[in-house]
Amino acid sequence: MKHFSLSFISALFISLFFCQNFQANAQQECMVGEVRLFAGNFAPRGWSECNGQLVAINSNSTLFSILGTTYGGDGRTSFGLPKLQGPTSGAVGTNTSSKQTKSIANGAAIAVSFTNKTTSKVDAYWIDFSGNPTFYGSIESGKTWSIQSGAKQLWRFMDGNKEVCDIVLKADQKEYNVQPNAAANNSASGGGQAMRYIICTEGMYPARH
């Protein structure tokens, strides 16, 4: 019985050792600063989402040595990650090849609603026909805001100075989710699932030629 227990413990220890080494080796295959497209709704360990957010230098010094302040930050305590929007699967009529930068006049207004899916209050701006923003109001986390607006008109949602998403209205859609990387044309009642870009924060350091 004692021999069996020792054998079982030894086998368990070996399994855990190889499992941990497999995970470590898999992470080492990634290069710090490498960007990939990810279909999940989270960033895996050792990766961060590319939402243009500021991160602390003291906890991401390796990545900072590669990116610097190319994407923002003060270079003393913080630096910015790239802001990249992934394609959307299953969203009919979504065009990710170009980004609309202003509203387009397109007939009568329709009733639309925006639901704030973030954990913070967001501010809603209508982007006029010249590309200039006009503040219309704020939406608390989890709340829905309704308004009259026209198809092909552009709305931008901000969390302080950080852009959450742009939404271009469509004539056949009345409900929209406000969330990061929400391909702006996603429907609250079942549009496509936006994939996300993630950047490696732990892994091999890229060699310079």
Measured CA to CA, the distance from residue 64 to residue 150 in angstroms comes to: 43
Tell me whether residue 71 is exposed, middle or buried, using C-beta atoms within 10 angstroms of its C-beta: 0 to 12, 13 to 18, 19 or more. middle
In the chain, domain spans: 32-87+194-209, 100-190
pLDDT, residue 193, reads: 56
pLDDT of residue 88: 52
Q: Tell me, what DSSP letter sits at residue 87? A: -
Residues sharing a CB contact under 8 Å with residue 38, sequence separation 6 or more, in sequence order:
44, 47, 86, 195, 196, 197, 198
What is the reported pTM?
A: 0.45
SS3 54: strand
What are the φ/ψ torsions at residue 125 (nearest 5 degrees)? Answer: -125, 130
> In the 8-state DSSP scheme, what is residue 31?
B
What is residue 58's predicted lDDT score, i.e. its pLDDT? 93
pLDDT of amino acid 199 = 93
CATH topology of domain 32-87+194-209: 3.90.1340
pLDDT of 14: 46
Q: What's the pLDDT at 7?
A: 54
Give mean pLDDT in consecutive 10-residue pieces for the chain, a chain of 209 residues. Answer: 50 47 56 90 87 88 94 89 68 46 81 90 91 91 92 89 87 88 47 74 88
Spell out the SS3 assignment of 148-204.
Answer: EEECCCEEEEEECCEEEEEEECCCCCCEEEECCCCCCCCECCCCCEECEEEEECCCE
pLDDT at 83: 85
Question: What's residue 201's pLDDT?
Answer: 94
Name residue 94's beta-bridge partners: none
165/51 Cα distance (integer angstroms)? 10
Q: Give the CATH superfamily of 100-190.
A: von Hippel-Lindau disease tumour suppressor,  beta domain (2.60.40.780)
